[in-house]
Amino acid sequence: MDIRIDEVVDKGLYYKKISNDKVINITGEGGSGKSTLANGYRNDENYLVIDYDMIVLNPDVGTIEYELKQILLKKYGNTLFENISRVGIDKVKENFTIMYNEVINYLSEQNKTIVLDGTQLRFINDAKMIKGEFVALRPSIQTCVSQSVKRFIQKNPQNIARIKENGIKVG
């Protein structure tokens, strides 16, 4: 089965139950709808939604992602967050696998279903390490780009005039 995205053909989501662990792994490209799907769980007290990509970036203070990043930094230092251009893809995959396992182990004590939303899930070194359910959203590249642009416009209305000034059609 080809689970990769296509340039122009939207494909249905790919779902696989891997284990009975209380984890839902949601992945896809930017604009695929993965965060929209994950956010559907946010208001249910039985779920704990984590933006896995934010752990790597700069999560806001006071968020669970910030707490997780601090735990990882304390245990592993900055080496876990090394840039791919410095350490290569194999080391990045190893680091993301470590992060995944640490996050799952730490959050499993919460006795809630963990919902991981993240493009970075693709970098887990060995698919056998993934726990729970795996959901890959696979709209076309065109759909992802369109959705990403729409989201950018909604979040950055102040930049639209500047974009139009540069001759880029918006809307």
Tell me the per-residue pLDDT of 101-118, one tens digit each, with 9 for 90 and over: 999 999 998 889 999 998
Contact assessment for residue 55 and residue 69, using Cβ atoms and an 8 Å cutoff? yes
Mean pLDDT for the stretch of residues 3-21:
74
Contact assessment for residue 8 and residue 146, using Cβ atoms and an 8 Å cutoff? no
Give the pLDDT confidence score for residue 1 in this predicted structure.
Answer: 41
Give the pLDDT confidence score for residue 36 in this predicted structure.
Answer: 79
Contact assessment for residue 3 and residue 134, using Cβ atoms and an 8 Å cutoff? no
What would the pLDDT profile of 26-77 be if each residue is shown by its tens digit? Answer: 987 776 767 777 888 999 999 999 988 788 788 999 999 999 999 999 999 9
Give the pLDDT confidence score for residue 38 in this predicted structure.
Answer: 85
